[in-house]
Amino acid sequence: MNSFASPQTLVALPFAPSVDDLYARIFEAILEQRIHPGSRFTEESLAQMFGVRRSDVRDVLTQLSHQQIIVLRVNHRPRVAELDIEQTRQTLHARRLAEVMLVRLACQRPLAQDMKRLRALIESERQCTEPGRALRLSGEFHLRLAQMAGNAPLAHFLESLIALTSLALAQCDEQSTDYCAWRVHLEILDALEQGDAAKAETVLNRHLDYLEDVLLSPVSARGQNCAAG
């Protein structure tokens, strides 16, 4: 399908969303394949579909291009990136190196308010039934966890890796109905509260092993949603 999503699938909000809100809505549309690699869209068409200013769309597309989710080229329409196996392999390898270190750091400084926010986010994940939003929320958990570590450059680096992982999951065929990312996140959070860095690292590595099995399997083609992030 070469056309962009129809007005029936993307409803404009009755108020002007923030750029962060717009980012979430556009990214979720990408993760749900409502905006997919074959979609033909422009800043103007996105602005009309989401009921926002073109300049705000441009800001979001620029952010997504920095994360390698959207490809922007002069004199070409924006397009959603298509990830190959090697790019996904490198992304997961870099993510493991960065995130394991960040989890170790986060275990050294768990704050009650951070734990409370993460538990609320996990509850949102548990209740979520929309695939694209579930993937984004799952990635948001890992990002907030990284921010707790107190190393801004490393957390910023991880942000793009998490976004790419979510895109790879959205574009893969491998399905899992018995794997609940929110349960894994709860295990990690419990370990953090106990100050058990070794357990948190073990659970995280097990989660990343699962992602590698799903995304790097020879039978994993691109095209449908997977159930973790």
State pLDDT tens for residues 203-216: 999 999 999 999 99
- Kindly state whether residue 120 falls inside one of the protein's structural domains: yes
| 16 pLDDT higher than 80 | no
pTM for this predicted structure: 0.84
| 166 pLDDT higher than 90 | yes
Q: Domain containing 148 — which CATH number?
A: 1.20.120.530
Separation between Cα atoms, residue 20 and residue 103, nearest integer Å: 25
| 124 pLDDT higher than 60 | yes
Q: Do 154 and 184 share a domain, yes or no?
A: yes
Domain range enclosing 55: 19-80
For the residues 36-49, what does the mean pLDDT come to? Answer: 92
Examine the fold and report which residue of 32, 58, 80 is the final residue of a domain before the chain moves on.
Answer: 80
132-165: burial string, b at 16+ Cβ within 10 Å, e else:
bbbbbbbbbbbbebbbbbebeebbebbbbbbbbb
**pLDDT tier at 169, thresholds 50, 70, 90:** very high
- Kindly state whether residue 47 falls inside one of the protein's structural domains: yes
- Kindly state whether residue 72 falls inside one of the protein's structural domains: yes
**Which residue would you say has higher pLDDT here, 205 or 2?**
205
Examine the fold and report which residue of 29, 52, 80 is the final residue of a domain before the chain moves on.
Answer: 80
- Kindly state whether residue 11 falls inside one of the protein's structural domains: no
If one counts the domains in the chain, the total is 2
Examine the fold and report which residue of 80, 105, 120 is the final residue of a domain before the chain moves on.
Answer: 80
Q: Domain containing 23 — which CATH number?
A: 1.10.10.10
Q: Do 110 and 170 share a domain, yes or no?
A: yes
Q: Do 184 and 122 share a domain, yes or no?
A: yes
Q: Do 127 and 202 share a domain, yes or no?
A: yes
Rounded to the nearest angstrom, the gap between the alpha carbon of residue 138 and the centroid of all alpha carbons in its chain is 7
